């Protein structure tokens, strides 16, 4: 086999970086043919700078001839079986926040309700290295759901009338290996299925079930975040609020003052308007708060309740 060295634009060998040229076994079945050395006077600040320095040196002659060629192919990288992902999280490594991201590992997460907000919570959590993501929803994925959840299902998928939990599980298992579907509503008969989890996002508006769920999570010292959206039509425009309320074993006393346990279906004055952007905002605020609780983001306020007011754009934090 012919092992060519890198060349200059004129076809001459790129001698400026040549160190040695011989076959060397670096690992089982991995053979190098050439080694290079091009250390600057002050060295490299880190391995990334070193790697990119050599990459640019080797790539420049070819690029000067044809600027469409690149060594940065962004090919999909296979990953070990131990990872929770089906392919490498190159975004985390690219941002150099791997150590920070490790704070989210080994967490079993539950999402109760996969309507607008719950589905966006899943979209964000599935991109983190949590060990398991459990989905709880007994409803069917219907046409209106397509307009307030992430992604763009085709019409044939809507005609299948599949369960929400299965639909989102199949979608996100393409990225995260351990998304687990539970085709059931949470109620008094199965609320104990949440008690093996480390954290729960509550994305439902049925007051009685929400209360039973929260009571059990409190009893078993499990942290959670409850989300809520209240929107109404005024003067032919929409106004309202988006709320997230966090609760941990160390702070519970604010729950009754911040979380409503009334049933939307039974309240003749209530509305159930949901808009995709507000659902996404609701989910984003919830996931940011969850990450704060785990030290991923710095949290100087320690707020456990956040409300965004639509018409004036105010963001209120309280329950410090």
237-288 per-position pLDDT tens digit: 999 999 999 999 999 999 999 998 877 554 444 567 889 999 999 999 999 9
pLDDT higher than threshold 80 for residue 203: yes
- 202-224: average pLDDT: 94
**What residues are paired with 30 via a beta bridge?**
27
Q: What is the pLDDT of residues 132-175, one digit of tens each?
A: 999 999 999 999 999 999 999 999 999 999 999 999 999 999 99
Nearest-10 Cα torsion for 126, 258, 271, 289: -20
Q: Please report the pLDDT score of residue 27 as a whole number.
A: 65
Whole-angstrom Cα distance, residue 22 to residue 87?
34
pLDDT higher than threshold 80 for residue 187: yes
CB-count burial class (<10 Å; 0-12, 13-18, 19+) for 186 = buried
Going by pLDDT thresholds of 50, 70 and 90, the confidence category of residue 57 is confident
41-49 long-range contacts (CB < 8 A, ≥24 apart) are 48/96
Are the C-beta atoms of 261 and 211 separated by less than 8 Å? yes
Task: Determine which of 67-71, 125-129, 300-304 has the lowest per-residue pLDDT on average.
Answer: 67-71
Token representation of residue 11: 């076809």
Q: Please report the pLDDT score of residue 268 as a whole number.
A: 43
Token representation of residue 320: 């410090």
Q: What is the per-residue DSSP string for 295-310?
A: TSS--SS--SEEEEET
What is the percent of the chain with per-residue pLDDT over 70, rounded to a whole number? 93
- 121-135: average pLDDT: 98
Going by pLDDT thresholds of 50, 70 and 90, the confidence category of residue 26 is low
Residues 6+ apart with CB under 8 A from 287: 121, 124, 125
Q: Tell me the average pLDDT of the chain.
A: 89
Question: CATH 3.40.50.720: which residues of the chain?
Answer: 90-318
Q: How big is the CA angle at 84 (ends 127 and 213), to the nearest 5 degrees? A: 70
What is the percent of the chain with per-residue pLDDT over 90, rounded to a whole number? 62
Residues 6+ apart with CB under 8 A from 138: 163, 165, 183, 184, 185
Q: Please report the pLDDT score of residue 267 as a whole number.
A: 46
Q: Please report the pLDDT score of residue 83 as a whole number.
A: 92
- Record the pTM: 0.80
Q: What is the CA radius of gyration of the chain?
A: 26
- 72-101: average pLDDT: 81
Q: Please report the pLDDT score of residue 271 as a whole number.
A: 60
Residue ranges of E strands in 84-154: 108-112, 132-136
Whole-angstrom Cα distance, residue 111 to residue 126?
11
CA 271 from chain center: how many Å?
Answer: 30
pLDDT higher than threshold 60 for residue 182: yes
Superfamily holding 90-318: NAD(P)-binding Rossmann-like Domain (3.40.50.720)
Can you say whether the dihedral through the CA atoms of 96, 102, 105, 109 is positive or negative?
A: negative
């Amino acid at each position: 086999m012919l092992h060519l060295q890198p060349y200059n634009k004129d076809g001459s060998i790129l001698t400026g970086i040549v160190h040695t040229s011989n076959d060397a076994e670096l690992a089982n079945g991995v053979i190098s043919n050439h080694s290079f050395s091009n250390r600057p006077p002050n060295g490299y600040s880190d391995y990334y700078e070193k790697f990119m320095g050599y990459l640019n040196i080797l790539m420049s002659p070819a690029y000067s001839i044809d600027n469409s060629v690149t060594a940065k192919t962004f090919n999909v990288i296979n990953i070990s079986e131990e990872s929770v992902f089906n392919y490498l999280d190159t975004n985390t490594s690219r941002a150099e926040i791997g150590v920070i991201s490790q704070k989210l590992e080994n967490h079993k997460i539950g999402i109760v309700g996969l309507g607008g907000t719950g589905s966006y919570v899943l979209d964000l959590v599935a991109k983190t290295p949590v060990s398991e993501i459990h989905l709880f929803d007994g409803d069917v994925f219907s046409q209106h759901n397509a307009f307030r959840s992430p992604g763009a299902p085709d019409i044939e998928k809507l005609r299948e009338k599949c369960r929400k939990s299965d639909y989102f599980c199949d979608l996100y298992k393409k990225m995260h290996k351990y998304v687990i579907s539970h085709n059931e509503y949470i109620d008094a008969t199965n609320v104990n299925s949440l008690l093996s989890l480390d954290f729960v996002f509550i994305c439902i508006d049925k007051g009685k079930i929400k209360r039973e769920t929260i009571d059990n999570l409190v009893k078993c010292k499990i942290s959670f975040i409850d989300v809520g959206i209240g929107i109404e039509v005024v003067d032919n425009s929409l106004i309202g609020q988006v709320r997230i309320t966090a609760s941990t074993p160390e702070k519970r006393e604010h729950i009754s003052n911040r979380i409503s346990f009334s049933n939307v279906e039974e309240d003749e004055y209530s509305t159930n308007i949901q808009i995709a952007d507000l659902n996404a905002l609701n989910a984003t605020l919830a996931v940011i708060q969850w990450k704060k609780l785990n030290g991923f983001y710095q949290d100087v306020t320690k707020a456990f309740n956040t409300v965004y007011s639509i018409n004036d754009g105010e963001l209120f934090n309280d329950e410090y």
